[in-house]
Structure formats: C-alpha cells, structure tokens
Amino acid sequence: MGHLYIVSAALGGAAVLVGSFFCVYQLYRLVQVDAECRGLKHPRLWGLLAASGNGQSGLLLYLVGRRKHPVLSMSKEQKDCMGRRKKRFGVGLLFLTLGAVICVLSMLLGGQMG
C-alpha cells in the first residue's frame, strides 16, 4: 500500500515540473510578442530576461521598462497568439497546482500509514 503513495507523489512531482516548465515557456513567448508589439529592441532577450529572473525580478524589470513604450501596432495574428498563450499559461498553472496538491496529499497520507 505504501508503494501507491510513493508512485502518486512521484507523479505529482512530475506534474509540477511539467507545469512549471510550460508556464515559463509561455511567459517567455508572451513577453516576446508584447515586446514586438511595443517596438522594443531585442524582444527575445526581453522574453528570456522576464522568464528566467530569480524571484521574477526580470519580469518586474520588463513591466516597468515597457511603460514608456505604448503598443504601436498589434495584428490579428498577434492578438490571437497572445490569447492562446494566456490560455496555455493557465493550463500550465493548473498542472502545477494539481501536481503540488497530489504530491503533498500523497506524502501526508503515506506518512500516516508508516
């Protein structure tokens, strides 16, 4: 019976990892598209900075820096892309949350058994 809790904790941990990597990638792409719409130089660098900051300090730096640059033009494709990325980010957060809940519950219930 204890093996079931170990397997479910491992599956929950895997869901947390998949969800977190998916969220980071979607954040990178969202910032990249937003930077392109605002006419910022090096949108890929802004995306990388926003997605990889320790404690999301890169994202805060981007949000503060972009205030000086209004949206110049946003095509229909870019609007659709941003909408899809936001939905995918939500799916990644859902994976992350469910994985964390499964992992914690399985560790708590498995600890009570032993």
Structure tokens at 100: 């964390």
pTM for the structure as a whole: 0.85
Please give the chain's pLDDT, 114 residues, in tens: 678 888 999 999 999 999 999 999 999 999 999 999 999 999 999 999 988 877 778 888 898 988 899 988 889 999 999 999 999 999 999 999 999 999 999 988 887 765
Neighbour-count burial for 53-92, b at 16+ CB within 10 Å, e otherwise: eeeeebbeebeeebeeeeeeeeeeeeeebbeebeebbeeb
Structure tokens at 38: 């605002």
What is the distance between the alpha carbons of residues 20 and 79, in angstroms, rounded to a whole number?
Answer: 24
